[in-house]
Structure 1
Amino acid sequence: MRAPSGGNGGNAARLWPGIGGLAALVALWWLATGAGQAEGLAARFAPSATLASAAGLLRHPDLWLHLGVSLRRVLLGLAIALLAGVPLGLLVGGVRAVDAAVSPAFQFLRMISPLSWMPVVVMVLGVGDRPVLFLLAFAGLWPILLNTAAGVRQLDPRWILLARSLAATRAELLMRVVLPGVVGSVLTGLRLSIGIVWIVLVPAEMLGVNAGLGYFILDTRDRLAYSELLATVLVIGLLGFALDTLARWLHRWWVPS
């Protein structure tokens, strides 16, 4: 009988290829900026200058202020997307007539880039947080809605028949059978939404706001602080990676493989 492999060994086996890929990416970056011999603008984008700027930024209170504002917007946008997407997904997935009526419209709206709404949203909602939150919620809505609907369709019909045979009310059927059964699908949609919302966040914050990571990128450009600009881009990537890791952990915790 084959002995199960140790958890630490399996984690290490998965970790090292990832570290190697990141090292290769840094090496390509180093070569693309002149392998340490570049001058002028290219030198400002070199890994050494960027990492030095990143270390300085992490000690600067302004970065944490902008970071906190952006994270608050992301969480609010995702909360709005969840509050709208889960009920709509339950309805679309559970009622065929609703699915037939609204799915073409939803598919049409889903294919419109959220950023294309920026001029319209600013004219209607003005400048500030409201247009940014609308764009984030609009971007994050569709993965949650579609995955929730798919989760409802994949429910084992025997569980629903069993609940009905036990005279369960609609509310009991929803709370005890449907919602627990679709949580894994909702978390999958949430993970996809986090990636989309995080991508939309930065350009959305470049219009009509005075705080946030997108605003901070424009500020570094205007100050010609190019190494700080690239360092901010790295911080955005690291934060996005951390949010995606958290979403994956939540999914594994709820739906163990």
Structure 2
Amino acid sequence: MTVTASPRPRTAQQRVAGPRGTLLPAVGGILVATALWWTITTVLTAPDSMLRAFAPQHALPAVVDLARQGVLLDDVATSLWRLLVGLLVAAVLGLAIGLAVGLLPLLDAATGPVFQFLRMVSPLSWAPVAIGLFGIGHRPVYFLVAAAAIWPIVLNTIAGVRSIDPGFLLAARSLGATRAEALTTVVLPAIRPHVLTGLRLALGIAWVVLVPAEMLGVTSGLGYEILNSRDQLAYDQVMAVILVIGLLGFVLDTLARWLLGGR
């Protein structure tokens, strides 16, 4: 009989060392980046330079001012709603198209060149088309976000279907499973990791596209707030909105990794 020693329980110091080992470099990186930001916008610029308005000592208080005015929360809520709707449209269409193309080789051959062409077109190139079709308002933004986010979902779904062992499908059919049953019991569980990866990639692309899309004729959202602040020559508020956009993007990506990447 073989006896194996049970692993020693981790001490309190070892349990804390893990998070601290990753937290301290992150904090150090933020401090260094902030110091460089301050140096470039304050120390290395002329006293009358417009760049001084983008300095942290001006931008950070501007975030508080925008929040006190009630403008910032409304713009954040509007942008997040547009992001959610666009992603939902992209997820539904992307999953359906990816499954159809992955399961039907003839359709894959027919759509391959078209998909490769379309996915290389910048989503913002469709802005005149979106405005012409949907007018001014939320709908063209939904369209542009969905147009940007759909391709990672489509391509990852196709890759997931292609990675399925054909023996699994044959076994399901030999047991009398219908096409719908094979889809729900074999295909969808097998492609789940690929679909989740596609969703996370789609989220990042959609967030990047959302802000410039909100500069096209809408009167709300974070993208609009950047233009509005620029028109008022409030460059500290421009930088404040940029900081909010970056922070929200970081939070969204962190949540996506936690929710979609397996906890």
Q: Which interval holds the TM-score relative to the shorter structure?
A: over 0.9
Show the counterpart of 2:47. Answer: 39
Bigger CA drift: 72-81 or 174-183? 174-183
Show the counterpart of 1:126. Answer: 135
Number of equivalences: 254
- Write the distance in 2 (CA, Å) between the matches of 1:109 and 1:7: 49
- Write the distance in 1 (CA, Å) between the matches of 2:235 and 2:20: 36
- Judged with a 3 Å threshold, the aligned counterparts in structure 2 of structure 1 residues 201 and 145 are, in CA distance, closer, same or farther, namely same
Question: TM-score of the superposition, structure 1-length normalised?
Answer: 0.92
Show the counterpart of 1:190. Answer: 199
Q: AA paired with 2:224?
A: Y
Question: TM-score of the superposition, structure 2-length normalised?
Answer: 0.90
Structure 1 residue 123: deviation in Å?
1.9
- Write the distance in 2 (CA, Å) between the matches of 1:126 and 1:184: 37
- Write the distance in 1 (CA, Å) between the matches of 2:16 and 2:201: 28
Bigger CA drift: 71-80 or 192-201? 192-201
Q: Secondary structure at the match of 1:32?
A: helix
Show the counterpart of 2:87. Answer: 78
Larger radius of gyration: 2
Q: Secondary structure at the match of 1:24?
A: helix
Structure 1 residue ranges without an equivalent (≥5): none
Show the counterpart of 1:29. Answer: 37
- Write the distance in 1 (CA, Å) between the matches of 2:129 and 2:243: 31
Show the counterpart of 1:208. Answer: 217
Given that 1:69 and 1:211 are in contact with CA atoms closer than 8 Å, whether structure 2 keeps it comes out as yes
Given that 1:36 and 1:46 are in contact with CA atoms closer than 8 Å, whether structure 2 keeps it comes out as no
Show the counterpart of 2:18. Answer: 10
> Which residues of 2 match residues 40-59 of structure 1 at below 5 A?
40=48, 41-59=50-68
- CA deviations on 1:81-120 (whole Å, 9 max, x unpaired) are 0010001111112221111110110110000001111112
Structure 1 residue 161: deviation in Å?
2.6
For residue 244 of structure 1, the aligned residue among 234, 253, 262 is: 253
- Judged with a 3 Å threshold, the aligned counterparts in structure 2 of structure 1 residues 168 and 123 are, in CA distance, closer, same or farther, namely same
Structure 1 residue 241: deviation in Å?
0.8
> Which residues of 2 match residues 89-238 of structure 1 at below 5 A?
89-238=98-247
Structure 1 residue 180: deviation in Å?
1.4
- CA deviations on 1:185-208 (whole Å, 9 max, x unpaired) are 111111111111111111111111
- CA deviations on 1:191-236 (whole Å, 9 max, x unpaired) are 1111111111111111111111111111111111111110000000
Given that 1:187 and 1:247 are in contact with CA atoms closer than 8 Å, whether structure 2 keeps it comes out as no
Given that 1:187 and 1:250 are in contact with CA atoms closer than 8 Å, whether structure 2 keeps it comes out as no
- Write the distance in 2 (CA, Å) between the matches of 1:187 and 1:57: 35
- Write the distance in 2 (CA, Å) between the matches of 1:205 and 1:252: 29
Given that 1:141 and 1:193 are in contact with CA atoms closer than 8 Å, whether structure 2 keeps it comes out as yes
- Write the distance in 2 (CA, Å) between the matches of 1:36 and 1:49: 16
Structure 2 residue ranges without an equivalent (≥5): none
Structure 1 residue 156: deviation in Å?
2.9
Root-mean-square deviation over aligned CA pairs: 1.9
Bigger CA drift: 49-58 or 80-89? 49-58
- CA deviations on 1:36-95 (whole Å, 9 max, x unpaired) are 986342321111111111122233311111111111100000000001000111111222
Q: AA paired with 2:30?
A: L
- Percent identical pairs in the alignment equals 52
Q: Secondary structure at the match of 2:176?
A: coil
- CA deviations on 1:9-54 (whole Å, 9 max, x unpaired) are 3233222222222222112111111239863423211111111111
Bigger CA drift: 1-10 or 88-97? 1-10
